[in-house]
Structure 1
Amino acid sequence: MIKPTYKVAYLLMLLLLNSCIWGTVDDDNNPPFEVQQQYEAVTISRTEFENSTELLPAEPILETGKIYVKDDYLFINQPNKGFHIFDNSNPSNPFNMSYLKVLGSSDLSVKNNILYINNATDLIAVKPDFTNNTIEITKRIVNTFPELASPNNCCYNNTADNEVIINWTLIE
């Protein structure tokens, strides 16, 4: 019969061996730490921000986000910059007709021909008139959304009350 003190010693040895077997990490595939990319906030004054939304001539698409379809129109988001607007009345040949500059944007919804867009921290309602190539911001609800987070969610920016984060840039 095994003495009780030896039972405790055997149990401790089994636990230690178990942690050695199941807790191993392959150091070749998992470096001890990863260098996290650093980002810097791009900010503008609230006054400039609130006057920055505009309908511009068509631009080439540089980066894409979400895509929306409403009637004969396609809205393709360029993250944190705006929306490329296509006439999709001929789906085999969509026509890039204009660009809606909306800083800090990533999402859009359409109801009764009004575009509801996140404009960084604000929610705006935009009434487009594509025949006359104009828009009207019919409503702005300030600070509806939280500040734009950095792409890796690591950075916090102490933004002044009169400033808005519209994007983040990678620090090289």
Structure 2
Amino acid sequence: MELLYENKQITQKMKKQNLLFFVLFCIVLQSCCPWCEDDVGGLPFESRYEPVFLSRAEFEQSVGVTNPLSIGTSGKIYVKGDFLFVNELNKGFHVFDNSDPSNPRSVKFLEAPGATDMAIRNDIIYINQATDLIAVEYVSESNTARLAKRIPSTFPELLSPDGFTAYDIPENSVVVDWKLKN
């Protein structure tokens, strides 16, 4: 009698495991559905954004200092001495005089298309500019910048805001930003 009871419990447990396996198998098959529409479960198969390209020649000449701009889409913030650098995503860095932290004063805009991050060491600004790593000497007295070094293809291509990679990149071009498709 006891042996029959144990066999019945084992059989019920195996039925539950088989049912669980069957349900998981069906879920996996559904995710591979070849006859489904292009939009499965709200996940698009293409980006809602289109890449913005610069030719390699334009890209390598694009670093410079301009008049201050208003902040649009800010990224990371970096403080060095009396200066505050605020990333304008994929555009460059706003430079502020932060000698009075209660009233930072906008000084210049360090233009670097595709820029997303920076670090400063020994007064050299290292910038992640799209696919390249660049070293820039910023002279605070004259508010000028000089490109000291560029190491091309250090980083992967910029991804779209929804995580897609650009395809059909024109030869000798770099993705520096993404804009929403109309």
Q: TM-score scaled by structure 1?
A: 0.82
Structure 1 unmatched ranges of 5 or more: 23-31
CA pair 71-11 structure 1, distance change in 2 beyond 3 A = closer
Cα distance in 2 for partners of 1:113, 1:17 equals 65
Q: Cα distance, 1:161 vs. partner?
A: 3.5
Is the Cα contact below 8 Å between 2:157 and 2:165 reproduced in 1? no
Deviation at 1:11, TM superposition (A): 4.9
Match for residue 42 of structure 2 among 25, 34, 46: 34
Number of equivalent positions: 163
CA 1:82–1:15: 2 relative to 1, 3 Å: same
Shift of 1:130: 2.4
What TM-score does the superposition give when structure 2 sets the normalisation length?
0.78
- Structure 2 residue runs of 5 or longer lacking an equivalent are 25-39
Within 2, Cα distance between the matches of 1:18 and 1:145? 43
AA of the residue aligned to 1:103: P
Output the CA distance in 2 between the equivalents of 1:143 and 1:53: 17
Shift of 1:89: 0.5
Cα distance in 1 for residues equivalent to 2:137 and 2:23? 64
User: Cα gap change, 1:18/1:158 in structure 2, threshold over 3 Å: closer, same or farther?
Assistant: closer
Corresponding residue for 1:96? Answer: 106
Q: Pick one of 144, 147, 153 that aligns with 2:157.
A: 147
**Over aligned residues, Cα RMSD in angstroms?**
2.8
Alpha-carbon distance between aligned partners in 1 of 2:19 and 2:133, rounded to the nearest angstrom:
58
Q: 2:16 maps to what in 1?
A: 14
